[in-house]
Amino acid sequence: MPYLKLRDGAELFYKDWGNPNGQIVTFSHGWPLSSDNWENQMVFLAEQGYRVIAHDRRGHGRSTQTWQGNNMEKFVDDLEELFEHLKVKDAMMVGHSHGGGEVTRYLGKHGTHRFKKAVLVGAVPPLMLKTTANAEGTEKSVFDTFRQAMHNDRAQFFLDVPSGPFFGFNRPGAKKSEGQIRSWWQQGMNTGFKAAYDSIKDFSETDFTADLKSINIPVLVLHGDDDQVVPIEAAGLKSAKLLSQGKLKVYPGGSHAIHNINIDEVNKDLLEFLRS
């Protein structure tokens, strides 16, 4: 399995699938998951002739379980090292949830010279936390309960999240997938406790407003209007307005995990945006 040894000695696991000469699409996963969460999109686009690249964020999945540096600034610097190593150019960047924040901050900090387009899926920007200037955000007490739940019983907490709000399996009439729940739990438990814990503050309190305003390439924003984790009113609707070339598509009844639940529709939207 491919690993890149980063400047600080940590090792970053990544997947590099498909046509080695094809146009590149990169994927950034959400909390507390790994690149495995994108496998349906990666296989689909690889079969269409694209080269697809996804990494396990430091502390997550098969990457080094780092004690320090579990924050957005380090995450995007890791990405720049990976993209330099793999010679990424003329690509499209895709990110879900916390990974959507990673995409946004990467483009804001390192620029768009490697990328022609980007896609945000149920992404956390511009800011999840409720503040006086962000009344639509989520109270800090909610994220404090996440931290406490991790201390109390991380394994049970990481079972409760996918069994309920993440996939929308708590909604009346929802078709529950035990496989999706187990996959989420496995990915979450493979992530280091410290990285998962630190990332709660990172995804909830990082303000991406300035990054969104600075991005000068087309960005497709995909968001479910029944997202119980990252409500569309606080995220997708605002991001699309802040982006200079933002395009919003709302998934009616869509959960936080539209790429896992509405697989065919998301794949179609990604392919059409790539080809546009």
Q: Is the pLDDT of residue 119 over 90?
A: yes
Instruction: Identify the active-site residue in 29, 55, 256, 259.
Output: 256
pTM over 0.95? The answer is yes
Q: Is 140 buried (19+), middle (13-18) or exposed (0-12) by CB count in 10 A?
A: middle
User: Could you confirm whether 269 is annotated as catalytic?
Assistant: no
- Are the C-beta atoms of residues 205 and 131 closer than 8 Å to each other? no
- Are the C-beta atoms of residues 113 and 90 closer than 8 Å to each other? no
User: Could you confirm whether 97 is annotated as catalytic?
Assistant: yes
* Calpha distance 5→18 (Å, rounded): 23
Q: What pairing do the DSSP bridges indicate for beta strands 11-18 and 51-55? A: antiparallel
155: Cα separation from own chain's centroid: 21
Q: Is the pLDDT of residue 114 over 70?
A: yes
Q: Which domain holds residue 176?
A: 3-275
Instruction: Identify the active-site residue in 78, 227, 259, 269.
Output: 227
Q: Residues 237-263: what's their mean pLDDT? A: 98
Our count of domains for the chain comes to: 1
Residue 87 CB neighbours (<10 A) = 8
User: Could you confirm whether 256 is annotated as catalytic?
Assistant: yes
**Six-digit token string for 221:** 């924003």
Q: Is the pLDDT of residue 1 over 90?
A: no
| Tens-place pLDDT, residues 176-207 | 999 999 999 999 999 999 999 999 999 999 99
Q: Is the pLDDT of residue 6 over 80?
A: yes
Tell me the pLDDT of the chain averaged across its residues: 97
CATH number of the domain where residue 68 is located: 3.40.50.1820
| Tens-place pLDDT, residues 258-270 | 999 999 999 999 9
Q: Is 12 buried (19+), middle (13-18) or exposed (0-12) by CB count in 10 A?
A: buried
Q: Which residues, at least 6 apart from 239, have a Cβ–Cβ distance to it below 8 Å? A: 104, 120, 123, 125, 126, 212, 219, 221, 246
Instruction: Identify the active-site residue in 63, 97, 199, 239.
Output: 97
**Six-digit token string for 75:** 């995450």
